[in-house]
Copies of this chain bind each other. A is one copy, B any other.
Amino acid sequence: MTASQEVFKSDTANDDRSRVRLWLRLLRASRAIEGELRERLRTTYNVTLPRFDVMAALYREPEGMLMSQLSKYLMVSNGNITGLIDRLTTDGLVHRTLRDGDRRTSVVLLTKTGRENFEQMATSHREWVNELLSSFSPQEAETLAETLKVFASEWERETR
Residues of A participating in the B interface, judged by any CB pair closer than 8 Å:
14-16, 18-23, 25-36, 75, 126-127, 129-130, 132-136, 138, 140-142, 144-145, 147-152, 154-155, 159
Contacts and interface: CB of A to CB of B under 8 A. Distances in A.
A75 B129 contact: no
Contacts of A23: 33, 129, 132-133
Contacts of A29: 26, 148, 151-152, 155
A58 to B, nearest CB: 15
Nearest to A17: B126
Given A26-B30, A135-B150, A136-B151, 20 more contacts: A18-B141, A18-B142, A19-B136, A19-B138, A20-B129, A21-B141, A21-B142, A22-B133, A22-B136, A22-B141, A22-B144, A25-B144, A26-B148, A28-B148, A29-B148, A29-B151, A32-B155, A36-B159, A140-B147, A144-B147
Contacts of A142: 18, 21-22
> Oligomeric state, in number of copies?
2
Contacts of A144: 22, 25, 144, 147
A80 B126 CA distance: 29
Contact of A27 (B34, B36, B149): B34
Nearest to A77: B35
Given A31-B75, A75-B31, A148 B25 contact: yes
